[in-house]
Structure formats: structure tokens, C-alpha cells
Amino acid sequence: MTAEEISQANESLREQSPLEVIEWAIGRAEGRAIVSTNFRPYEAVILHLATQVQPDIRVLWVDHGYNREATYRHAEELKAKLGLNIQAFVPKLTAAHYDAAHGGMPEPTEENEEAIKAFSTVMKLEPFQRGMRELAPTVWLTALRKVQNPNRAELDIVSPDNNFNSLKVSPVFHWSDEQMEAYLAEHDLPNEWDYFDPAKADEKRECGLHAAWGGKAVEAK
């Protein structure tokens, strides 16, 4: 899509429900849509929405090995409840191997920014990019929301992703936490609050999946 076409699509889709956005996106995916997840809070919303439109949609999950027990239980619960077609990708190093070789996860401080990016490159970005190459989606559904992160406020429902040559579609981009909570309650979906992202630690930091530096970091390896 051209920049003008994307702008027009965003203007039109803002008036549509997330389900209608997904119907639009999958309708143009030529059978090559995916939805990515990390099973963080509210991820059940995008997974439920996506599987309502395409029950067998491929679900890309990078299991970096540092998830807490509650997150793995949540993943198993949603897999069973929604019949998720999970395509899991793991780093080339196990968490134990990384800890032994690099002294564990870097502390999430500004002084450690480069170390955090290096960690993210090995444990999240490389397996994610490998997954994107193997699955080769034309449309990538995400749970990105404007309220999550100041860096994401400049995005929109539809945006081109130059790292993966895919059309990134974020159906709940304009939804608030209250709207997400209401959807979970309406559809009797579980949530998970014990989630921890070792490559971010807080919502204001980007792990690289949705940032330009992410693709370059992996290419440089």
C-alpha cells in the first residue's frame, strides 16, 4: 500500500470496530496473516478477535525463556480455550546459557541501554525475525495501543513495517484499558498480570520489535 492508501485506510478504519478491522486486514492478506503475542496483560483480546475471523490464524510467539510461571500457565489456558495455532520460536541460546555467558539479564537502567538492546537482539529480536522470515506474512496483526507507550502515539491502526516488509495492523490501537477490560469480561476471557518483559522492564522502553533499530540490530549480528 502507498502512504496515501494507508492514510485513507486509517481514516476509514477509525470508525470501524476492531473485529471489522481484522476482517478488512485478513481479507487482503492472501492467506498469509499472522497475529503476534507475548501473552502479556490484555493479549487475550487480540487473540480472541483474530480467531473469530480466522480460527486457524498463525500465532507467532517468541518464548525467550524468561517468562514467569504465571505467563506460561496463561499461554496454555488461552491455547486450550481459543484453539490457538501457536508457532513458537526460541532463541539460539537458552536462558540458562545466556545467564552463564553474560552474567544474567542487564539491569533496566539508562546506563545499561546498550546492554539491554544487546540482550533483546539475542533473546527476542533474532527469533522473532526468524519467525517472520519463515511465516512470511503479508499482514501482521498486533495488540499495540496508543496508550501503552509514548513512542507508539505516532503510529496508527495501519502502518507499514519496513523491518519485515509486512502491513502491520493494530485493531485495538485506540482502545483504552477500560475498553479492554470490558471485552475480557464480555467474552469471559482470562488476563495475566504477572507478566515481565526482560527486554523492556517498563512500558516506556521499546524492545525493538516495533522500532527501526530492531531490524538493524539483528542484521548487524
Q: Which residues are catalytic?
A: 207
Tell me, rounded to whole angstroms, the distance of Cα 207 from its chain centroid.
11
> Helix 3-13 vs helix 18-27: angle between axes, to the nearest 10 degrees?
150
Helices (H) and strands (E) in the chain, counts: 9, 6
Give one DSSP letter per residue of 21-90, joined into a string: HHHHHHHTSTT-EEEEE---TTHHHHHHHHHHH-TT-EEEEE--S---HHHHHHHHHHHHHHT-EEEEE-
Phi, psi at 66, each rounded to 5°: -105, 10
From first CA to last CA, the distance across the chain in angstroms is 30
Phi, psi at 35, each rounded to 5°: -125, 135
